[in-house]
Structure 1
Amino acid sequence: MSQDFDRVINRKPTHSFKWDKYGDKDIIPMWVADAEFCPPQAVTDAIIERTKHGILGYTLPYESLNKSVCDWVLKQHDWHILPDWIVWTPGVVPAFNVACKAYCEAGDKILIQVPNYPPLLKAPSLNHCEKVDIPSVLVGERWELDLVELEKQASDPKAKLFIMCNPMNPCGSVMTESELKSVAEICLRHNVILCSDEIHCDLILEPGVKHIPAPALPEIAGRAISLMAPSKTFNIAGLGASFAIIPDSRIRMQFRNAAMGIVPWVQVLGLVATEAAFTQGHEWHQDLLKYLKQNRDYLAAEINQIEGMSLVKADATFLAWIDCTDLPVEDVQKFFEDAGVGPSPGRDFGEERFARINFACSLEQLKQAVERIKVAAAAL
């Protein structure tokens, strides 16, 4: 294995957003979606080499960088894209807010797949639009988008944009080609632009499951944008590098214009790290997926043995969406924190009786967290 994913790294002295939340409390932070792993050595080396130059001035995306994105997307998702389709942004969150600004006017309706992570839920109101929820429903052992509700809400003439996460955050499902085609048909029928947040698309854990970028479907290519980034996959979120892939020139120009004067350029080290990750991170990436699958399977087996909790194994992401509906506690988040584990509160995603646990950590840390949860549950 090219990386020691079992290595435990002390992040407390680094002003980590994740670790600072609980300060000196004996609570293992397993909330925000960054990992406890070092990025590939090639990424670290590229950053060091670039800083040795001494000047870190404004830097525009360059040819070899864009080629690395095209090559990566082709290899991972069998999608041939052109460099001109790429629009660089300093994060996916700014990108879907730009989409709101680009394709909607004040008072329009923006359809949002739910449950979803807090910044996405806030995007419509931040852009003076109305949020309309499109729920995900549990069908057997898989979370699926409610296509009937999407059809109903998309038919409203005020609905201009549908933002979804694929793979789903927090549910972890990866949409099938059939599901994506249904979404595309609905959006096209009602003249709704599709914005697909695909930041977790390179974290497919289940064998046989394939991610399909939304604009890769020919029927919706002219009315869809895909938002991707190396940040979750290679654990470089702090470098602020992501990109939108927008095949249609008019839709792309609207996006660019909406970002002008508001969204800054991606900083130079983010660009350098992205190219290194996409060109030299393949072996590390494959090892990461194996390790995360191991963690996912362990966590699912353990959680599903705890009375009052259930967990559907995620096809993708390093996030576990735990249903605590039958847990005999009033406050789910308080239960976990009192146990010494800090998940993302389900209420932040719109579901009071759930919790989201980030399992992108050493197996040792995960086992420690599970043991704390089991002890606390047994004491109820």
Structure 2
Amino acid sequence: MDSALQSINYNFDVEIDRTNSSSNKWDKYRDQDILPMWVADCDFKSPPSVMKALHERIAHGVFGYTHASERLTNLFIARMADKYNWHVEPEWVVYLPGSVCGLNLAARALTESGQTIISPSPVYPPLISSAKFANKPLIKAPVVLKNGRWLPDHETAGKLLTNQSGLLLVCNPLNPGGTVYRREELEATLSFVEKYNLFVCSDEIHCDLILDKHLTHIPFASLNKSAAERCITLMSPSKTFNIAGLGVSVAIIPNNELRQRFIKVKRGIVPNVNVLAFTAAEAAYAYGEGWLQAQVRYLANHRDLLKEEINALPGTTLEHIEATYLAWIDCSELPVNNPHQFFEQSGVGLSPGIDFGNRAFVRLNFGCTRKTLEYALNRMKHAVFAL
């Protein structure tokens, strides 16, 4: 692999035509004049190191059953130590073909018959649906706005719990909302789960997309031994390096008993990660950091533009986004019954807030070129001012 790839001047303004590429994001509005700003994948080319590694692996010509290389696991472990001061043992790592299946496996592995799953709300829909698929009751624990940040309301959540509660789902950074939880906030969550004797599944797949330089992601399981022993952590290079379609994620499970339960539920149902996904992940972790930092700077500039423009519109509000490329826009003051439908009819395809738990909101994916973002904002402004 050419180390010079790390010093390339990356240009995220290049428009990549994703039509006719079997893209879920772009095919949703095929043959319609609607900009797709919904599902969470970016319109950027993946790091050159990833594409180079894939070309080389394809040239080999044989694509049999595979497993993760020792180098990939070592790269991941080193990344956890360097970025998060978290010491991860190799045996804690379980590879998955996606983080959503990890949520559903955790919901099954960490709850027993009659036990409840507690999910933040609003939140990314697969957290909510994991209880349904596991045939477990769901408690929606409110996420509330405090001093411009979306935070869990543990006091209210505690009143909702039953003696049969079993699993708390955590999303850090929060999707949607973009909150990066501080240590004291995570410690408050740990106190909550210790009080009610809960296991934790912490979805941390956006942890590399921190837009504010002064903030650092803290894995829940890294707090102390109590947190580690009750937690399954989900991470992935998919959002970080825009390789979601290749399908590779990681479950980190320090507790051996929980890990064996997780693996048992997975066996025979969830397929292994494929060879090209492993190849991409290894190249991304080995050589993609320069690309990642350039992407984060680009997205932070998008975030700043969005915050300014959305808050200048009558009837819409956007709180500060600390992480992710997903804007959670409050449309409760807009004189429309369905903000998602309103903007869609105006040529901007957003994610409906009802899918996350609040129909007064929409989620906007700003993982796109500046030109596309400005085009979408102009359409939104035109629609609002025409009311």
TM-score (norm 2): 0.96
**Within the alignment, does 1:30 sit opposite 2:37 as a pair?**
yes
Q: Find the aligned partners of 2:196 and 2:385 in 1 and give their Cα distance.
A: 51
4+ aligned runs moved over 2 Å, structure 1: 149-154
Equivalent residue, structure 2, for 1:208:
214
**Within the alignment, does 1:162 sit opposite 2:160 as a pair?**
no
Q: Which amino acid aligns with 2:205?
A: I
Q: Which amino acid aligns with 1:188?
A: E
1:84 alignment partner, one of 77, 80, 91: 91
Q: Find the aligned partners of 2:353 and 2:134 in 1 and give their Cα distance.
A: 24
Shift of residue 208, structure 1, vs aligned partner:
1.3
Q: Deviations over 1:15-60 (max 9, x none)?
A: 1000010111100000000001011100011111111111111101
For residues 81-230 of structure 1, the aligned pairs below 5 Å read 81-154=88-161, 156-218=162-224, 219-230=226-237
Q: Which moved more, 1:1-10 or 1:131-140?
A: 1-10
What 5-or-longer segments of structure 1 have no aligned partner? none
For residues 245-324 of structure 1, the aligned pairs below 5 Å read 245-324=252-331
Shift of residue 222, structure 1, vs aligned partner:
0.6
Q: Which amino acid aligns with 2:182?
A: T
Q: Which moved more, 1:261-270 or 1:103-112?
A: 103-112
Equivalent residue, structure 2, for 1:373:
380
Asked if structure 2 preserves the Cα contact closer than 8 Å seen for 1:107 and 1:128, the reply is no
Q: Find the aligned partners of 1:100 and 1:142 in 2 and give their Cα distance.
A: 27
What 5-or-longer segments of structure 2 have no aligned partner? 1-7
Q: Deviations over 1:143-194 (max 9, x none)?
A: 111121233345x221100012100000110111011111111112222001
**RMSD of Structure 2 on Structure 1 (CA):** 1.0
Asked if structure 2 preserves the Cα contact closer than 8 Å seen for 1:150 and 1:186, the reply is no
Q: Which amino acid aligns with 1:159?
A: S
Equivalent residue, structure 2, for 1:20:
27
Q: Which amino acid aligns with 1:163?
A: L
Give the paired residue count. Answer: 379
Q: Find the aligned partners of 1:153 and 1:331 in 2 and give their Cα distance.
A: 29
Asked if structure 2 preserves the Cα contact closer than 8 Å seen for 1:343 and 1:355, the reply is yes
Q: Which amino acid aligns with 2:123?
A: N
- Residue aligned with 2:269, SS: coil
- Residue aligned with 1:133, SS: strand
Shift of residue 72, structure 1, vs aligned partner:
1.6
Q: Find the aligned partners of 2:104 and 2:37 in 1 and give their Cα distance.
A: 26
Q: Find the aligned partners of 2:168 and 2:146 in 1 and give their Cα distance.
A: 22
Q: Find the aligned partners of 1:2 and 1:196 in 2 and give their Cα distance.
A: 34
Shift of residue 238, structure 1, vs aligned partner:
0.3
Asked if structure 2 preserves the Cα contact closer than 8 Å seen for 1:76 and 1:202, the reply is no
Equivalent residue, structure 1, for 2:369:
362
- Residue aligned with 2:320, SS: coil
- Residue aligned with 1:160, SS: strand
Q: Find the aligned partners of 2:222 and 2:347 in 1 and give their Cα distance.
A: 43
Equivalent residue, structure 1, for 2:64:
57
- Residue aligned with 2:68, SS: coil
- Cα 1:192/1:153, change in 2 over 3 Å: farther
| Percentage of identical aligned residues | 44
Asked if structure 1 preserves the Cα contact closer than 8 Å seen for 2:103 and 2:126, the reply is no
Asked if structure 1 preserves the Cα contact closer than 8 Å seen for 2:210 and 2:323, the reply is yes
Q: Which moved more, 1:142-151 or 1:85-94?
A: 142-151
Q: Find the aligned partners of 1:83 and 1:266 in 2 and give their Cα distance.
A: 17
Asked if structure 2 preserves the Cα contact closer than 8 Å seen for 1:225 and 1:246, the reply is yes
TM-score (norm 1): 0.98
Q: Find the aligned partners of 2:317 and 2:195 in 1 and give their Cα distance.
A: 37
Q: Deviations over 1:289-331 (max 9, x none)?
A: 1000000000110000000000002100000000000001111
